[in-house]
Amino acid sequence: MGSIKAWVLKTFYKDEIAIIEREFSRKVKEIQYDCNKKVKLIEAARSALSEKSQSIVGIEMNKSEEEVLVVQRVYKDDIWFLLYSDRYKAINQHPRIMATYKHPLGGKEHIWIDDILVEDEEIGNGSILMNYFLSYCKTTSAEYISGELSPKDADHFDRSQHYYEKHGFEVTFNDDRTSGGIKYELKNNTTEAGPKGMLRKVYEVRRALDAGAYQAAVALALSLPDICSQVEFPSEDKVGVRYPQWCNKYIDLNDAKVPIKDQDIDFSDNELNEDTIYALRCAVLHSGNDEVLAQKHGQKNLKITDFKLVTPDRNFGYRYGQSGTDVTCEINVKYICDLICDAVEKYYNGYANKTDFDRFDLMDS
């Protein structure tokens, strides 16, 4: 009887069995990979906590899809934030922000950035550190944060300016652009509920992520390009035109990590792009479900049939999967929220006439 069952399965359900076997194999490899990463993270945590005055304040995933421990070291007037992981083991390898709390006699208390060291560039470590650093500074009595742009770093002033302005700093240079300074007003830009105006919305997305309110975070994040696109394209009435246009212009999609092929389907035309983000926006904000109405959104070549949001502890930004004719795009909630929030912060901070955003601020601050 057993041989007959086996023959029936292999004869009539060969394709279905092959799909199940591939999915099982993928799941086993994913579990093994996750276990290995957790072991390395535990080793990094042990190393971080062995140092005096250090505490682990967060676990984040950078753009290389590497989990890093965010470590805070506050001792007397020293304020340090460091990243620990399997890659960063030696004491001089940890990406870090080093700052000092200043108590000038007769002057305003402030925080001085002594140095920022991030060897691996363009993978998001600097932004992870700065977000935690700013959050901590806002809990202090300091009036502002400041620092200098040294002449020895003049060859990458453009990159430094972009980095600081992205996070809300004012950046100034001398006449010949050989040195400069940075300043972040802690008291003028915040209320008890956090930053004001457009930055308040970004702040609340990140607060929702921290609180585990993932659906609320995603819903608010996906609404932000709606606002920005109305400011950028005031004469365009169709949200289905202006929303993807703004995403294409301002969201950095070049760092998106995606498999080109998954099983037998070629996804090379379905990388995370402005149309996919707009489809997700419509599914979450209007339909309230995961269905992708490709034809309705004018995305005639879109192969995705539904979305799945996954929690920040998953070790990928987004990926595709197939079950029969259904193609699912799984997106990490923190990945999509950070992708949008980083773009909105940069856009808002670089926009000259910020009063254009006033009509979108529904909170009386």
Q: 62 or 362, which is more confident? A: 62
| pLDDT at res. 244 | 93
Paired tokens of 236: 């365009």
| pLDDT at res. 295 | 36
| pLDDT at res. 206 | 85
| pLDDT at res. 90 | 63
Percent of the chain with pLDDT over 70: 80
89 pLDDT tier (thresholds 50, 70, 90)? low
Residue 328, beta-bridge partner list = 306, 321
Q: By CB neighbour count within 10 A (0-12 exposed, 13-18 middle, 19+ buried), where does 248 fall? A: middle
Q: Is the pLDDT of residue 294 over 50?
A: no
CA angle 340–363–246, rounded 5-degree value:
25
Mean pLDDT of 24-41: 75
Mean pLDDT of 293-322: 67
Mean pLDDT of 314-329: 75
Beta carbons within 10 angstroms of residue 200's beta carbon: 18
Q: Is the pLDDT of residue 69 over 70?
A: yes
Q: Which of 239, 309, 320 is nearest to 272 (CA)?
A: 320
Counting other chains too, the contacts that 168-171 makes at CB distance below 8 Å and 24 or more residues apart are 168/134, 168/195, 168/199, 168/345, 168/349, 169/145
DSSP 195-207: E-HHHHHHHHHHH
| pLDDT at res. 227 | 95
| pLDDT at res. 303 | 61
Asked which of 47-51, 130-134, 331-335 is least confident by mean pLDDT, the reply is: 47-51
Paired tokens of 311: 């929690």
Q: Are strands 326-332 and 306-310 parallel, antiparallel or unpaired?
A: parallel
Q: Can you list the alpha helix ranges (DSSP code H) found in the chain?
A: 2-12, 14-49, 125-137, 157-166, 197-211, 214-232, 239-250, 274-282, 333-350
Q: 13 or 266, which is more confident? A: 13
| pLDDT at res. 355 | 86
Q: 350 or 44, which is more confident? A: 350
| pLDDT at res. 188 | 58
Mean pLDDT of 263-287: 72
What integer best gives the mean pLDDT of the chain?
Answer: 80
CA-CA distances (angstroms) from residue 307 to 153, 173, 250, 263?
A: 44, 46, 23, 18
256 pLDDT tier (thresholds 50, 70, 90)? very low
Q: What domains can be seen in the chain, in order of their start residue?
A: 49-194 (3.40.630.30), 198-360 (no CATH)
| pLDDT at res. 281 | 92
| pLDDT at res. 153 | 85
DSSP 211-266: HT-HHHHHHHHHHHHHHHHHHH-TT---HHHHHHHHHHHHS--TT----SEETTEE
| pLDDT at res. 36 | 72
276 pLDDT tier (thresholds 50, 70, 90)? confident
Cα separation, 79 vs 60, whole angstroms: 20
Q: Can you say whether residue 236 is alpha, beta or left, with left for phi > 0 and alpha for psi between -120 and 50 degrees? A: beta
CB 192 within 8 A of CB 199: no
Paired tokens of 49: 């906590």
CB 97 within 8 A of CB 113: yes
Q: 300 or 329, which is more confident? A: 329
> Cα 349 vs. chain centroid, distance in angstroms?
17
| pLDDT at res. 91 | 62
pTM exceeds 0.85 for this model: no
300 pLDDT tier (thresholds 50, 70, 90)? very low
What are the pLDDT digits (tens) for 111-122? 999 999 987 667
Q: 62 or 320, which is more confident? A: 62
